């Protein structure tokens, strides 16, 4: 046993003790993974559309504009559409309610089916301001209250 120890000690001295250094660092590796699905977002501010009671002047003009605008912040991480629809207005035609996303330059009649307000928006966040107008007709608009529910939808394409 002494001979073996002496031989190992001799080899250690022969090849040098300096080749054995202290370990200063160690490493380890890992992986990262995330699956991101298609996400859509919508936030509607001031969602209730309000009209004053129409006057003779409003009926003569054939319409009345809403007191307020509706603000919509919407988006998706994919191309997307912003849609609008109305569930009804009682006995008043749904198409008598008009909307505009260009400050009233162009008006579009509401429908009970979803209609695109904005088509194929690029991925990202957007803002829209919606104006509303109600068509008025002396012959068909009987006294009463007409109301319905507006639905805004973001559809990722």
- For the chain, the first-to-last Cα distance in angstroms comes to 80
CA neighbours closer than 13 Å in the CB half-sphere of residue 18: 0
The whole-chain average pLDDT of the chain stands at 91
Q: Are 90 and 144 in contact (CB under 8 A)?
A: yes
Return the pLDDT at 23: 80
pLDDT (mean) for 115-122: 95
Distance CA 9, CA 7 (A): 5
Residue 17 belongs to some domain of the structure: no
Domain annotation covers residue 18 = no
CA distance 117 to 151: 12
Can you give the CATH number for the domain in which 107 is found? Answer: 2.60.40.1090
Does any domain span residue 103?
yes
Tell me which of 8 and 101 has the higher pLDDT: 101
* pLDDT over 70 (residue 10): no
Residue 68 lies in a domain: yes
Name the token pair of 155: 């559809």
pLDDT digits (tens, 9 = 90+) for 124-153: 999 999 999 999 999 999 999 999 999 999
On whether residue 29 sits in a domain, the answer given is no
Domain for residue 75, yes or no? yes
pLDDT per position as a tens digit, 46-56: 999 999 999 99
Give the range of the structural domain holding residue 135, as residue numbers without chain letter. Answer: 40-156
Instruction: Flag whether 136 is in a domain.
Output: yes
Q: What is the 3-state secondary structure (H, E, C) of 64-87?
A: EECCCCEEEEEEECCCEEEEEEEC
Give the total number of structural domains in the chain. 1
pLDDT band at 115; cut points 50, 70, 90: very high
Answer whether residue 74 is part of any domain: yes
- Alpha-carbon distance of 150 to 94, in angstroms, equals 11
Positive or negative torsion for Cα 132, 50, 128, 92: negative
pLDDT at 108: 98
Q: What is the pTM of this model?
A: 0.80
Cβ neighbour number for residue 10 with a 10 Å cutoff: 10
pLDDT of residue 3: 61
Higher pLDDT, 70 or 9: 70
């Amino acid at each position: 046993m002494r001979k073996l120890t002496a031989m190992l000690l001799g080899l250690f001295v022969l090849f040098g003790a300096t080749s054995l250094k202290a370990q200063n660092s160690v490493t380890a590796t890992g992986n990262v993974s995330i699956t991101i699905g298609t996400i859509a977002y919508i936030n509607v501010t001031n969602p209730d559309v309000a009209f004053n009671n129409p006057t003779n002047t409003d009926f003569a003009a054939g319409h009345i504009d809403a007191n307020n605008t509706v603000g919509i912040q919407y988006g998706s991480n994919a191309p997307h559409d912003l849609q609008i629809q109305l569930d009804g207005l009682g006995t008043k035609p749904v198409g008598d309610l008009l909307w505009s996303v260009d400050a009233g330059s162009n008006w579009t009649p509401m429908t009970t089916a979803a209609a695109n307000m904005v088509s194929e928006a690029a991925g990202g966040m957007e803002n829209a301001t919606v104006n509303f107008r109600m068509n008025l007709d002396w012959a068909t608009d009987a006294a009463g209250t007409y109301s319905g529910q507006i639905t805004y939808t973001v559809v990722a394409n």
